[in-house]
Structure 1
Amino acid sequence: MDQQDSIFIQKFPVRYGDIDISGYASIKSFFSNFQEIGFNHADILAQKYNGKKEFSFAVVWTKLNVVMKRIPKWKEMLTYSSWISPLIQNSKIATRNFKIEDSQHNQIGYGYGTMVFFDMVKRKSIEIPKELLIYPTHDYSIGNHEFSKLDNLSTYDYQITIKTQYTDLDIYRHVNNVRYINWVIDSMPLDILKKKKCYETEIHFLNEAKNGILVKSNTKILTENEKISANHEIIREDGKSIARVKTIWK
């Protein structure tokens, strides 16, 4: 086992499509890059340790937390690092960590999230596959690895309705997780979006969304001063919650 494989590093510029109207990176760009580097790392590990074997399972996020100390601007070059926490045999949950540094090697953000493994044939969650237990991991947890208890919203201040489209889907044929972040942002009042930046986002993924359905993105503003906190819930047309989210704006 090569410990150099335990941490994967990739550079991403803040692209024009990543920024908001003020020229700063939107929170959705960090989720998108976390998704990209996570899959790239997993692909390299699979090729080296499993010989490009085709797996019959998918990796599904259950919770993900992103915390930014500074919001970068358009054209900044960022270095993302990612690693898997030690895997536990017979467990169903794995944890992935992320670190974001600027061109001066200052850490400007981090994230961590939990994943489960889903049998694509039997359509149910499974224990961490034995093929993955040989992967090199890194015994360092960034952040406290704690998650909030996010309940359903009994009331809300703002709501938008979206119809899912073909372009929302990923290779698993359901709506990509990053779209949920877009819906959360779009449900926030415009005056907050113009004056504040989202520094923290915690999302709990509960159910999938397929193509051609209606979903509602509800937002409840909890505190409104220099730091604004809000809770969000995305609900399918059948009434099931797709995701619950907590954001902090400064």
Structure 2
Amino acid sequence: MLAYRAQPTISLPTSCLSWNRPELRSGGSNKSLRVGVKHPKCTKVVGNYNIGSGNPDSDKMHDMLHGRMVAEGTVFQQELVVRSFDVSGDSKMSLVALANYLQDTALNHFERIGVLSDGFSTREMSTRDLVWVLYKTDIAIDRYPCWHDAIQVHTWMYELGKNGLGIDWSFSDLKTGEPLILASSSYMMMNKKTRRLSKFIEEAKKELKPYFMPEWSPMIENTKKLQVINIDTTDFTRLGSSPGWNDMDMNQHVNNAKYFEWILEGTPSWIMRSHQLSSTNLEFRKECGMDATLKCLSKMVGNYNSESDNSATGHNNEGLIEVEHSLRLDSGLEVARARTLWNTKHPDN
């Protein structure tokens, strides 16, 4: 169902955070890092941790916090720590948090190579009112990082066909180098004024080509087409989902992570309790704006007897559950479709 390609060779050790980590020394001896913060009602200095603009190590600090280019400038690398607001009830990173990190590291990648402009676009695209919009994304999860885990993210881009941009991600444990998560996404250009898709303009190709991974195609390839769900044969329906102002992104449509949240909300709760998401494929069909009302439809693939007997037939992998999803406006128009695969929960996963 999902085909995987080998990851690009990155000639740096897994613990390469130390490659650009500045030496931070606490106390008054390190004056270059000691800039006090004064409370408006106090005369004494509170803390000694802010970094002044004249600090000679500020570039290294920027690298540590915002990432750096490696592998001869074709791969962007960034380190993250899983925060309490990134995790769900089992103290593991949520799918919504993961989707946000995919978006954030991609934007940081564009910013680092110096082409990021207004929204998710290059300078040449911005002058023509063009932005990148996500067309589809595939995610495969081997192990979820937990609260306080330090993870390392590598991301790279490549030309996808004549009109698309491909971006891949690899998440690994910073301490052990263990691979955790792989993801591949496809982007298309959209005109912000007409809201119509556009061709990949040559001016933008020239901006990005020096940073493309040469002769590369998506690391995860979805070999099974996502099917249209017949509303009369769905197994689970959730009504009344609606985005608000905080769900909008810089391109003035619903943030990508919100779609993953809707998919999970439209998944039967008994699956969430007994299984853990191992992979998902999401395709966007239509833009969704604020105040829209959606239906979240889910259909089980295979034969499921009941909620009390969650056995499945017709599957090669014992305990694996496959669910097809559709997000539709009240008018019936489909805004996205997806597939999720769920494995039985294990304590070490």
- Residue 124 and residue 67 in structure 1: after superposition, are their counterparts in 2 closer, same or farther (change >3 A)? same
Q: Which amino acid aligns with 1:206?
A: R
State the Cα distance separating 1:73 from its structure 2 match.
1.4
C-alpha deviations, 1:85-121, integer Å up to 9, x for none? 2466xx1112111111112112111111111011223
Quick check: 1:218–1:234 contact (8 Å CA) kept in 2? yes
- Residue 9 and residue 243 in structure 1: after superposition, are their counterparts in 2 closer, same or farther (change >3 A)? same
1:196 corresponding residue in structure 2: 275
C-alpha deviations, 1:171-190, integer Å up to 9, x for none? 22211111010011111122
Within the candidate set 100, 103, 113, 1:35 is matched to 103
State the Cα distance separating 1:147 from its structure 2 match.
4.7
State the Cα distance separating 1:26 from its structure 2 match.
1.7
1:92 corresponding residue in structure 2: 163
Q: How does 1:51-70 map to 2 (within 5 A)?
A: 54-55=126-127, 56-70=129-143
Secondary structure of 1:4 counterpart: coil
Q: Which amino acid aligns with 2:333?
A: K
Q: Which amino acid aligns with 1:207?
A: K
Query: Which ranges of 4 or more aligned residues in structure 1 deviate by more than 6 Å?
Result: 48-51
Q: How does 1:1-250 map to 2 (within 5 A)?
A: 4-47=72-115, 54-55=126-127, 56-86=129-159, 91-103=162-174, 104-134=176-206, 135=208, 136-139=211-214, 140-141=216-217, 143-154=219-230, 155-161=233-239, 162-223=241-302, 224=312, 226-250=319-343
- Residue 200 and residue 84 in structure 1: after superposition, are their counterparts in 2 closer, same or farther (change >3 A)? same
Whole-angstrom distance in 2 between the partners of 1:141 and 1:107: 20
Quick check: 1:87–1:94 contact (8 Å CA) kept in 2? yes
Aligned identity (percent) is 19
- Residue 45 and residue 214 in structure 1: after superposition, are their counterparts in 2 closer, same or farther (change >3 A)? same
RMSD: 2.4
Whole-angstrom distance in 2 between the partners of 1:48 and 1:243: 27
2:35 corresponding residue in structure 1: none
Quick check: 1:87–1:133 contact (8 Å CA) kept in 2? no
2:55 corresponding residue in structure 1: none
Q: Which amino acid aligns with 1:79?
A: Q
The worse-fitting range, judged by mean Cα deviation, of 215-224 and 119-128 is 119-128
Quick check: 1:92–1:125 contact (8 Å CA) kept in 2? no
Whole-angstrom distance in 2 between the partners of 1:127 and 1:213: 28
Q: Which amino acid aligns with 1:32?
A: N
State the Cα distance separating 1:201 from its structure 2 match.
0.7
The worse-fitting range, judged by mean Cα deviation, of 130-139 and 25-34 is 130-139
Whole-angstrom distance in 2 between the partners of 1:153 and 1:124: 26
Q: Which amino acid aligns with 1:236?
A: L
State the Cα distance separating 1:51 from its structure 2 match.
9.2
- Residue 123 and residue 180 in structure 1: after superposition, are their counterparts in 2 closer, same or farther (change >3 A)? closer
2:6 corresponding residue in structure 1: none
Whole-angstrom distance in 1 between the partners of 2:158 and 2:221: 11
Q: Point out where structure 2 has 5 or more consecutive residues left out of the alignment.
A: 1-69, 303-311, 313-317, 344-349
The worse-fitting range, judged by mean Cα deviation, of 49-58 and 74-83 is 49-58
C-alpha deviations, 1:27-77, integer Å up to 9, x for none? 222211111111111233344999966442110111100001112211111
Q: Point out where structure 1 has 5 or more consecutive residues left out of the alignment.
A: none
- Alignment length, in residue pairs? 247
C-alpha deviations, 1:153-177, integer Å up to 9, x for none? 1121111121221121112221111
